[in-house]
Amino acid sequence: MGEAGIGPGGVTLDHATGVASPYQVEPGDLTGLIPDEPAYRVDQLREWLYEHPVLSADLMTNLPKSVRDRIGHPLWPFEVEREQRADDGRTIKWLFRCPDGAAIEAVLMGYPRRTTLCISSQAGCAMACTFCATGQFGFERHLTGGEIFAQVAYASAHLRDHPLPGSPDRVTNVVFMGMGEPLANYPNVRDAIHRMVDVAGMSGRSVTVSTVGVVPGIDRLIEDPWPVTLAVSLHAADDHLREQLVPLDRRYPIDSLIDAARRYREAKGRRVSLEWTLMDGVNDSADQARALAAIAREIDAHVNVIPMNPTPLAPQQRPPDDRIRAFVDEVARHGATVTLRDTRGVEIDAACGQLRVRAERGET
């Protein structure tokens, strides 16, 4: 791929060829890429890109070579810089590199009944949460809707040839829990959700948008038609503690966030998840557990406890296992439904909040 940059409308162009990836074009505008072809060819192309993605345009067997050549250079809006596996092949992390140098990471996790892809919505992040590796690097740029959706398409294409052992051979669930704050890039996240649900045919319920608490973004999500799952990264039950972990708390304190979560619950009829990254000696006390349970009961939310994945850039640590257990039990004892998230991909820095560290340290 040649020198490239961001063109008009955020489209990434390959300067060597002057051609954009077809994923950088709105799915309704594909005609513009192959203007001389009949309409049914455009439909065939859209099916390949969205419903049955393949790794290379050469595999789009019912399209003439001229069309494959036209849209296949490049097919993807990024190159695959690295692919790493962990957990006996049930976890794969990809580092994608955009022509302008922006890094995108995505993690695929296989479970007995679902195959979940964790995707990035921004290169870097401006939220600066003190325990998150991405937050320490600052913000690079928003990803486009095409770059966000292409992570899902790439993983689907990969799964066709290499299913994860014992898991569905397609992406069944997507979580916006990679790099970035999705509700700080809502127009592009919206475009990506539209592509997943309305064009690729995924169920809205199987898409989870995780937010650190951008209240106006939650209200915009309410306005949109999809029944996506909302996850709110709470991490603390009082503002004094929360603002030390999540700087955005000063702008949108817990009360305003809980109100927004309640509005979401009422508008969509969907249970909200409260995410709680559990940090040793920080937010793992019985008092915090009880206050968390009270909030969860109040808005009928489900609590997800994620033990802190230590990163070299943040001081917070993972509590010992008996403290993790005691915290989860205390939340449950006070009447909230709570699950302890299993930690995938720790050994390849693919776990929550760890993305990006190794690449930036220049290790392989």
So which residues are the catalytic ones? Answer: 105, 352
Q: Using CB under 6 A, which of the segments 36-44, 60-68, 199-207, 306-314 binds ligand SAH?
A: 306-314
C-beta separation of 263 from 218 below 8 A? yes
Residue 129 Cβ vs ligand SAH, minimum distance, rounded to whole Å: 6
Residue 3 Cβ vs ligand SAH, minimum distance, rounded to whole Å: 31
21 versus 277: smaller Cβ distance to ligand SAH: 277
210 versus 283: smaller Cβ distance to ligand SAH: 210
Give the residue among 208, 292, 305 at the shortest CA–CA distance from 242: 292
Give the residue among 289, 102, 109, 253 at the shortest CA–CA distance from 185: 102
Q: Minimal CB distance to ligand SAH: which residue?
A: 353
Give the residue among 280, 278, 287 at the shortest CA–CA distance from 330: 287
Give the residue, chosen from 115, 229, 288, 309, that forms a contact with ligand SAH under the rule CB under 6 A: 309
Instruction: Identify the residue whose tokens are 């393949």.
Output: 54
User: Phi-psi bin for 317: left (phi > 0), alpha (psi -120 to 50), beta?
Assistant: beta
C-beta separation of 346 from 124 below 8 A? no
Burial readout 294-319 (b: 16 or more C-beta within 10 A, e: otherwise): ebbeebebebbbbbbbbbebbebebb
33 versus 128: smaller Cβ distance to ligand SAH: 128
Quick note: the x/- pattern for ligand SAH over 155-194, rule CB under 6 A, is ---------------------xx---x-------------
Residue 346 Cβ vs ligand SAH, minimum distance, rounded to whole Å: 10
CA atoms within 13 A on the CB side of 182: 28
Strands 19-20 and 122-124: unpaired
Residue 319 lies near ligand SAH (rule: CB under 6 A):
no
Contacting ligand SAH within 11-30 (CB under 6 A): none
Quick note: the x/- pattern for ligand SAH over 194-233, rule CB under 6 A, is ----------------xxx--------------------x
Contacting ligand SAH within 30-89 (CB under 6 A): none
25 versus 207: smaller Cβ distance to ligand SAH: 207
Residue 70 Cβ vs ligand SAH, minimum distance, rounded to whole Å: 36
All residues at 6 or more sequence positions from 91 whose CB lies less than 8 Å from its CB, including other chains = 85, 107, 108, 109, 110, 344, 345, 348, 350
Strand ranges across the sheet with 4-6? 4-6, 12-14, 19-20
Residue 311 Cβ vs ligand SAH, minimum distance, rounded to whole Å: 5
Give the residue, chosen from 144, 206, 208, 277, that forms a contact with ligand SAH under the rule CB under 6 A: 277
Q: Looking at the chain, which runs of residues are DSSP E strands?
A: 4-6, 12-14, 19-20, 79-86, 91-97, 103-110, 115-118, 122-124, 139-142, 173-176, 207-211, 229-233, 273-278, 302-307, 337-340
Residue 50 Cβ vs ligand SAH, minimum distance, rounded to whole Å: 24
Residue 306 lies near ligand SAH (rule: CB under 6 A):
yes
161 versus 342: smaller Cβ distance to ligand SAH: 342
Give the residue, chosen from 154, 311, 324, 348, that forms a contact with ligand SAH under the rule CB under 6 A: 311
Size of the site for ligand SAH (CB under 6 A): 17
Give the residue, chosen from 37, 140, 191, 275, that forms a contact with ligand SAH under the rule CB under 6 A: 275
Residue 282 Cβ vs ligand SAH, minimum distance, rounded to whole Å: 12
User: Phi-psi bin for 58: left (phi > 0), alpha (psi -120 to 50), beta?
Assistant: alpha
Question: Cα torsion at 128, 304, 320, 315 (round to 10°)?
Answer: 0
Give the residue, chosen from 132, 197, 202, 348, that forms a contact with ligand SAH under the rule CB under 6 A: 132
Strands 173-176 and 139-142: unpaired
- Identify residue 4 by its one-letter amino acid code: A
Residue 134 Cβ vs ligand SAH, minimum distance, rounded to whole Å: 7
Which residues bind to ligand SAH, rule: CB under 6 A? 131-132, 176-177, 181, 210-212, 233, 275, 277, 306, 308-309, 311, 352-353
